[in-house]
Amino acid sequence: MNPLEHTIESILPGVQKPSRYIGGEPNQVVKDPATATARVVWSYPDAYEIGISNQALQILYAMVNERTGAWAERAYCPWPDMADAMRREGVPLFTLESWRPVRDADMWGITLQHELCYTNVLEMLDLAGVPLHAEERTQGDPIVIGGGPCASNPEPLAPFFDAFLIGEAEDLVERIVEVFERLPDRRRRMLALANMPNVYVPSLGAHLVDRAVYDSFDIATQPSKPIVPYASAIFNRASVEVMRGCTRGCRFCHAGTWYRPVRERPAAEVVEAGAKVLDCTGYDELSFTSLATSDYTDIDDAIAGIKAIHPDLHLTLPSNRVDTGPIAMSAAANTRQASITIAPEAATQRMRNIICKTIDDEMIDGAVRAAFEQGYTSVKTYFMIGLPGETHDEVQAIVDFGVRARDIGREVLGEQARFTVHVSASNFVPKPHTAFQWEGMAPRVQLLLKQSFIRRSMPRGGGQIRLSLHDPTTSMLEGALSRGGRHTARVIERAWRSGARFDAWNELHDAAAWHDAYAQEGLTLDGEAERVFGEFEPLPWDHIRSGLSKEFLLDELWQSRAEAITGDCRWDGCTDCGACLGPIRTRVMK
């Protein structure tokens, strides 16, 4: 045992959940460092239990280890108690596979799944002993590459990354690894990355970069031996991605634009992949994942196929649509599955027209009824407040829905039955590359007043209705970071230096650090979140091209103000959004 390993072992007994840091999980990959052609580290900048559940990193981890001679390892953000102990004992950020320093890697890839992990990026860089600013790194430092959905606006983190991979990584990761295998020094590696399509190098200025699209969506990239965590994870189950992309056109939805067009996998391939992952993990629960699994046109065959192999399988279908959900619920019904989720998003027809949610009250009520009739005893529903054009009627309608859904449950299951209608109302946050990217957030005081009204008005006697409201404090921060420019990097650094980290965790969020950081830059957090961009004003992310034309998004903004719906191109004809230009096309099974 080397001195670093000995020191790590000595501090683990004194921290919460030491299993977060030990590695050695089933299906992890260990290669000989002497023969590995390059050393790659993949990181999710949050706690282990969050990062280990991320499908994207599981895909990239498997691809590098199975298809190249390089060795991919993992590192997650240490919890504050562990970080403090590491600093006290001089322990650098280390990988789970080998307990070797991350800073010794050739490439360090960090996925950016949400804005509230931004300070954790700096925390990890600092713990690793890697200079925070890309311009200060030298030959001995890893090349730090960002990716994931938040790379759609890389500017708030641009000074801290050497490069960003824009879009879906599957077709690019082997080519990027080959650069590190072939070229021996940092300068030539950076030049090669700068010449690659879909890679953004901030030091070169705001140059145009197109989003990469994994056109084939080959089942071969679905990990057949995912890592099984020792510690508790937010998703303790096997998963197979059945579909990528969405054409529903919800105007608030970043994923719905960033992952276009729709690409589906055949049911036979999904079933085979699901059976393999169940066999090698020991899980008895499988999730068919996508942005909206009930929209997957091969869903019936996929469910029937996997149930024929595993009749007692606990099958979960996340993100069910209100209109297609009841069919999927019926096909997936399982006595062990008590909960189902549907997302109406808005409770009035007017607001659903504004956000382009092509459903009506009858469909919503029908989905709730179908859930209870299929034996589900917990129906989780999601709404938003603070949407553009919202009035009191929309807020009142959320309360009315909760009462109506409870009454449906009583009608189907009985007055005294044990069931729960969960009503969750989050705060609208505008995102880049969406039709609402020009809109600002509702003022904090308005969000608080609307939440207070819902809390007072929603009947919760008997426990059949449960209400969940999202804290506007973190929502406002998310909004300020989401549409920030390069100046936002200074705010992020100031906040981190003042102690901000794990901002998505309510018990650790330091609102004062963020307000002070914005004030020191002559800004206000709420002002940045509420900012309305002019329709023809340059946007900080204009150089990142999602595939959807700006003209289409502007037209969608104007359509929202006219309370007009745009159809789904799978059924209503092409909407000329731009996502299917060239060889890339929407592909559905049926």
Burial, 192: exposed, middle or buried (Cβ in 10 Å; 0-12, 13-18, 19+)? middle
The answer to whether 331 and 302 have CB atoms below 8 angstroms apart is no
What SS3 class is residue 391? coil
**Residues sharing a CB contact under 8 Å with residue 137, sequence separation 6 or more, in sequence order:** 130, 131, 144, 162, 186
Residue 416 included in any domain: no
Residue 465 included in any domain: no
Q: How many domains does the chain have?
A: 1
pLDDT tens sequence across 64-80: 999 999 999 999 999 99
Q: Which domain holds residue 78?
A: 3-210
Strand partners, 232: none
Query: What pLDDT was estimated at residue 335?
Result: 47
Percentage of the chain beyond pLDDT 70 is 98
Residue 115 included in any domain: yes
- What's the predicted TM-score (pTM) here? 0.96
Residue 110 included in any domain: yes
Buried b (16+ CB within 10 A) or exposed e, 308-336: eebeebbbbbbbbbbbbbbebbebbbbee
CATH number at residue 107: 3.40.50.280
Burial, 551: exposed, middle or buried (Cβ in 10 Å; 0-12, 13-18, 19+)? exposed
Residue 452 included in any domain: no
Query: What pLDDT was estimated at residue 245?
Result: 95
Mean pLDDT (the chain) is 94
Residue with tokens 């007072």, as numbered in its chain: 456
Residue 7 included in any domain: yes
The answer to whether 154 and 164 have CB atoms below 8 angstroms apart is yes
The answer to whether 246 and 256 have CB atoms below 8 angstroms apart is yes
Residue 502 included in any domain: no
What is the token pair recorded at 227? 């890592």
- Please state the φ and ψ torsions of residue 239, each to the nearest 5 degrees: -150, 150
pLDDT tens sequence across 343-397: 899 999 999 999 999 999 999 999 999 889 888 899 999 999 999 999 999 999 9
Residue 164 included in any domain: yes
